[in-house]
Amino acid sequence: MSLNIVPRTRFADEVVRSVCPYCAVGCGLLVFVEKGRITNIEGDPESPISQGCLCPKGCATFELVTGSHRERKVLYRKPRATEWQTLPLETAMDMVAERLKKTRDENWDAENRRTMSMAHLGGATLDNEENYLIKKLFTALGIVQIENQARI
Ligand code: SF4
């Protein structure tokens, strides 16, 4: 009896090397692409960091990018509202910037040239370059509580 089973990676047009986005370990990934769509993601055996291994989070990166439950729009819930509404990304970014400036202006400590009214908590998936820019931006804004989830 022969089973007509083939791996779903067999028909990939290309295999792209990448890095798991979930934590600072940086395990290597192989991303299989067929007709412009990701068909599989697995550990890269040639990665000197992980040698083909992935933890359960890393194994789930295929679902991270392809899952139907992934939110692809900005969702906003007004204070005391019970329903979410979608917003254009540009509108949401403007709202964040306006609130940040208002909070900073209203709570500026001129003597110490800082504000204690805000803090920043970065996610563990941020890379070195993103963390560098976040530290620069928030320090320039006078915010002193700048932390990263990876250190908690
Ligand atoms: S596979 Fe796991 S250990 Fe490796 S980078 Fe991703 S989250 Fe971190």
pLDDT of residue 152: 60
pTM of the model: 0.66
Sign of CA pseudo-dihedral 137, 141, 144, 150: negative
pLDDT, tens digit (0-9, with 9 covering 90-100), for 71-112: 889 999 999 999 999 999 999 999 999 999 999 999 999 999
Ligand 1 centroid to residue 46 C-alpha, Å: 15
Q: Token pair of 22, please?
A: 């979930």
What's the CA gap between 127 and 26, in Å, rounded? 9
pLDDT of residue 1: 67
Residues with CB under 6 A from ligand 1: 20, 22-23, 25-27, 50, 54-55, 57-58
Domains and CATH numbers, the chain: 14-66 (2.20.25.90), 71-106 (no CATH), 108-152 (no CATH)
Ligand 1 centroid to residue 24 C-alpha, Å: 7
pLDDT of residue 55: 95
Order across the sheet with 28-34: list the strands. Answer: 14-19, 28-34, 37-43
Ligand 1 centroid to residue 84 C-alpha, Å: 32
Question: Is the model's pLDDT at 149 over the cut of 80?
Answer: no
